[in-house]
């Protein structure tokens, strides 16, 4: 999001037309992590028992962006293409808790936050705030909602209007909503600046006169001006120096206690999530794949993607650094054309082989990756044989097919495949010698189709649900790896 967009969004949240908004904070080092007692308290009254109605309830939220959807595209007969940024996301946030939303860049975290605040119109689904559907609110109710639900953006340098003094920036939401007299507003601004650790002597200074951490504090003060109940903190610490991240995170925790705030914290930084959140939702390619209490999820992650994310965190001790680490293969697929079934299956090291197939897990993963490349036409057939094999009119001369197959096999696999798998795969590779991609796809699909590509596992219910077939019926088969053995 550009600086202007951030300011516009912030202004909209505060109910203004030209406003400015906040910035975030945070960090792992030097903060105090949530005690398990805190965490238990939240989960006992929320997901575990359902005894308390959530403050925010997100139900099957969808946000698609459309490409090729201009008038010109339509005149030229183009079909609109949906980019599924958020695709059926559901979670609850309970009063006083901090729910973390974590995932790689581009997974839909920020779009989820903006859409639930109604800064973007949803494609589908429902968001309830205090039991009321925010997408069906009339103008008066929307104004109230925007006072109660504020946002702190990532970038402390672009989210504050450089032409306004910080006093005016913090006061702006109060002016727009016509809160109190001029003197009362000024007094509130002074109070807020002191609460976030800034001096009231700085009221008439401009944002460029402050450090990144101080700007975040200004943004937080502005977000608190209308006494909200709920804040979306969108990567609040990622633009800050490590040395100030912890200070701003601690400030957010203190303010939460002081003002009874409820937070949705969006971050790709697991150390930030661990230190400030009560529960965590893990997002991958527009979907939530696991939600659980923070300590439980960090100590006993269930979804292979969560495990991989935790594996990717640099280790503090020499002993930890030296232990074997599983790494994820491949890139995140495009949300324009997400994989069928489980969206993580193109990278999952535990993808489930067919029930009756004799195969090692690692071999199956390699074959699935090769299938993926064939289905995406991601192999340059012309270059396989170099200058030794002619590739003319889309075909290799029949005498050269065995050599072509061997070379392509070497290119796709670290080690030659064992036994029957070599035969099946080489049959498909021979079909590529004639550029018959469909035949190669079909040969491999018949032998190696996984339940993970046929069916979306769905998130399930309970205090720690996970969207993975390993925890369903398919996970009880002989070929399904025990998730506890992969860590």
Q: Where on the chain is the footprint of ligand SF4 (CB under 6 A)?
A: 303-304, 342, 344-345, 348, 350-352, 452, 457, 468-470
Element (DSSP H or E) covering residue 463: none
Please give the full DSSP string across 320-385, using - where no structure is assigned. Answer: HHHS------SPPPPTTSPPSSSTTTTT-TTPPPPTT----HHHHHHHHHHHHHHHTT-S-GGGTT
**Residue among 288 and 342 whose Cβ is closer to ligand SF4:** 342
The least distance separating ligand SF4 from the CB of residue 402, rounded to whole angstroms, comes to: 34
Give me the sign of the Cα torsion angle 194, 145, 57, 5. Answer: negative
**Cβ atoms within 10 Å, residue 115:** 25
**Residue among 405 and 468 whose Cβ is closer to ligand SF4:** 468
The least distance separating ligand SF4 from the CB of residue 272, rounded to whole angstroms, comes to: 25
**Cβ atoms within 10 Å, residue 113:** 22
The least distance separating ligand SF4 from the CB of residue 363, rounded to whole angstroms, comes to: 16
Which residues have CB under 8 Å from 421's CB, separation 6+? 359, 363, 367
**Residue among 255 and 470 whose Cβ is closer to ligand SF4:** 470
**Residue among 9 and 307 whose Cβ is closer to ligand SF4:** 307
Backbone angles phi, psi at 378, to 5 degrees: -100, 40
Beta bridge partner(s), residue 91: 58
The least distance separating ligand SF4 from the CB of residue 332, rounded to whole angstroms, comes to: 14
The least distance separating ligand SF4 from the CB of residue 368, rounded to whole angstroms, comes to: 9
CA separation for the pair 368, 330 (Å, rounded): 11
The least distance separating ligand SF4 from the CB of residue 364, rounded to whole angstroms, comes to: 11
CA separation for the pair 3, 163 (Å, rounded): 14
**Residue among 230 and 448 whose Cβ is closer to ligand SF4:** 448
Token pair recorded at residue 286? 């527009």
**Residue among 249 and 308 whose Cβ is closer to ligand SF4:** 308
**Cβ atoms within 10 Å, residue 437:** 17
The least distance separating ligand SF4 from the CB of residue 432, rounded to whole angstroms, comes to: 25
CA separation for the pair 297, 151 (Å, rounded): 26
């Amino acid at each position: 999001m550009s600086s202007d967009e951030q300011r516009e969004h912030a202004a909209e949240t505060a109910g203004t037309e030209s406003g400015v908004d906040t910035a975030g904070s945070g960090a792992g080092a030097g903060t105090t992590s949530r005690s398990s007692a805190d965490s238990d308290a939240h989960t006992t009254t929320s997901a575990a028992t359902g005894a308390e109605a959530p403050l925010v309830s997100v139900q099957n939220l969808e946000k698609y962006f459309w490409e090729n959807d201009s008038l010109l595209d339509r005149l030229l007969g183009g079909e609109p293409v949906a980019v599924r940024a958020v695709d059926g996301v559901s979670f609850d946030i309970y009063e006083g808790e901090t729910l973390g939303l974590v995932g790689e860049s581009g997974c839909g975290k920020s779009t989820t936050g903006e859409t639930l605040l109604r800064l973007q119109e949803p494609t589908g689904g429902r968001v309830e705030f205090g039991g009321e559907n925010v997408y069906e609110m009339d103008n008066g109710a929307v104004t109230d909602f925007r006072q109660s639900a504020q946002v702190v953006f990532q970038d402390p340098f672009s989210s504050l209007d450089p032409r306004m003094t910080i006093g005016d920036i913090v006061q702006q939401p109060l002016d727009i909503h016509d809160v109190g007299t001029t003197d009362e507003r000024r007094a509130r601004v002074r109070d807020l600046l002191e609460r976030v650790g800034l001096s009231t002597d700085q009221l008439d200074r401009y944002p460029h006169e402050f450090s990144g951490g101080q700007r975040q504090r200004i943004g937080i003060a502005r977000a608190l001006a209308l006494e909200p109940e709920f804040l979306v903190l969108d990567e609040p610490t990622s633009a800050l120096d490590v040395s100030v991240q912890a200070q701003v995170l601690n400030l957010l925790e203190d303010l939460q206690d002081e003002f009874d705030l409820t937070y949705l914290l969006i971050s790709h930084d697991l150390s930030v999530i661990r230190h400030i959140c009560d529960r965590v939702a893990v997002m991958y390619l527009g979907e939530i794949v696991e939600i659980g209490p923070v300590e439980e999820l960090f100590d006993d992650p269930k979804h292979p993607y969560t495990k991989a994310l935790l594996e990717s965190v640099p280790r503090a001790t020499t002993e930890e650094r030296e232990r074997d680490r599983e790494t994820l293969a491949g890139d995140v697929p495009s949300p324009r054309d997400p994989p069928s079934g489980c969206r993580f299956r193109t990278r999952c090291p535990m993808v489930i082989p067919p029930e009756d197939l004799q195969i090692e897990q690692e071999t199956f993963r390699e074959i699935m990756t090769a299938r993926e490349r064939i289905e995406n036409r991601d192999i340059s057939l012309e270059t396989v044989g170099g200058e030794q094999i002619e590739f003319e009119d889309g075909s290799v001369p029949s005498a050269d097919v065995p050599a072509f197959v061997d070379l392509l096999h070497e290119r796709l696999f670290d080690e030659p495949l064992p036994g029957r798998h070599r035969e099946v795969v080489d049959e498909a590779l021979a079909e590529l010698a004639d550029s018959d991609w469909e035949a190669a796809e079909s040969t491999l699909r018949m032998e190696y189709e996984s339940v993970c590509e046929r069916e979306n596992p769905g998130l399930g219910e309970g205090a720690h649900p996970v969207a993975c077939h390993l925890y369903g019926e398919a996970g009880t088969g002989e070929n399904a790896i025990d998730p506890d053995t992969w860590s």
